[in-house]
Chains A and B, each alone.
Chain A
Amino acid sequence: MATDRHPLFIPLVLVGGLIFGFGLGYSHMARPEVVLNFLQFEDFGLLFVMFGGAAVTGVVFFLAPRVLDRAPLTGDRFERRLKSFDRNVLVGGAIFGVGWGLSGICPGAAYASLGIGNVTILWALAGMFLGAYLQGWWRSRAADSVDPAPTGAD
């Protein structure tokens, strides 16, 4: 996939990211204070960001495979985002929840926060890379020690 990409693949990802980041800025979700106000029940507006976003993806994810046979830039079939469920989804979600509730920032909003000039968010980004590295280090070690065991070893 990486070798013979459509020339418009990267430009399209850039445009998608631009729209995505503009939305995060416009929704004020790139401001940790707004997220914390939501989590403290002072302003429920943030619900509209997630559900507004999910409404659009819901319609498009439903229509795309019915209108197009394959994705024009990759030739891949359209699939729903269905990840397997296991305990990790809840454990990881809870750990993420602690971090989100403490800092008021999630990954996409942190990138957008940098874009609105919030250099202080580099603390959170440094933390996110550190956290991702720690779990990757730990999981790589677990995977390497159990040899060819499939991902269920997590």
Chain B
Amino acid sequence: MVADPVPLQLAAELFPNGISRYAIGGLFVGLGAAVIYVGTGISAGASTFLESTLSYVSSRSRFQQYVASRDWRLVFTFGIVLGAAVYAVVYQGGAWTTEVSWWRLLIGGVFVGIGTRVGKGCTSGHGVCGVGSASKTSIAGVLAFLLVAILTAQVVAALGATP
């Protein structure tokens, strides 16, 4: 009758916060992308918003190619902010702020901005929509950013940077 403690112990080590919050959250993320896809045929990614929004303030050809989609991408991003705010009000009970240092966020953000655009997608475009489409390009992209991110985070932690 006694459950084997080894797998349980392993699960507790690998998933100290359980998996339900992650799995349920992921299902909602996928559902949001799916709703847009079924209605419009568009597989939305979050990072194109950066370039499409820059088309409002820059006439560079690279940004102007997104003029046709920039308004709905603005709405999509607004929806993401609002949806997370609903979560915060219902479950979090107020604002939450990060302890990660500003310079890590800023410099990391610059790399994210360059890399997602050069690499044609981010965690949502490649990760959720691309992998869901079984796109080999997206799977390669996900492997590339996942491996390098793991390496980077481990090196930064080893160098002693606390958040």
Question: A81–B100 Cα gap in the complex (Å)?
Answer: 33
Which residues in B have their C-beta under 8 angstroms from that of A106?
46-47, 112, 116, 122-124
Chain B contact residue count (CB 8 A cutoff)? 123
Q: Is the CB of A80 within 8 A of B109?
A: no
Selected from A2, A14, A32, A33, the residue in CB contact (under 8 A) with B75 is A14
Interchain CB contact under 8 A, B112 and A14: no
Chain B residue nearest to A137 in the complex (CB): B60
A61 to B36, CA, bound (A): 11
Instruction: Find B54's partner among A31, A123, A132 (CB 8 Å cutoff).
Output: A132
Shortest beta-carbon distance from A112 to chain B in Å: 4
Map CB proximity to B onto A77-113 as digits: 1 under 8 Å, 0 otherwise: 1111111110011111111111111111111111111
**How far is B22's CA from A131's CA once the two chains are assembled, in angstroms?**
29
Verify A127–B110 contact, CB threshold 8 A.
yes
Please give the distance in Å from B16's CB to the nearest CB on chain A: 5
Task: Give the size range of A's interface with the partner.
Answer: 35 or more
Residues of A within 8 A of B (CB): 1-2, 8-10, 12-33, 36, 39-58, 60-61, 64, 68, 70-74, 76-85, 88-121, 123-137, 139-140, 143-144
Question: Interface majority SS on B: helix, strand, loop or mixed?
Answer: helix
A22 and B87 in contact, given A17-B32, A92-B120, A143-B61 (Cβ under 8 angstroms): yes
Return the contact of B84 from the options A25, A73, A126 (Cβ within 8 A). Answer: A25
- Do A13 and B116 contact each other (CB < 8 Å), given the known contacts A103-B109, A104-B100, A140-B62? no
Take A33-B163, A88-B120, A112-B80 as given contacts and tell me if A26 and B28 are in contact as well, using a CB distance cutoff of 8 Å: yes
- In the complex, chain A residues whose CB is within 8 Å of the CB of B22: 27-28, 45-49, 52
Whole-angstrom distance from the CB of B109 to the nearest CB of chain A?
2
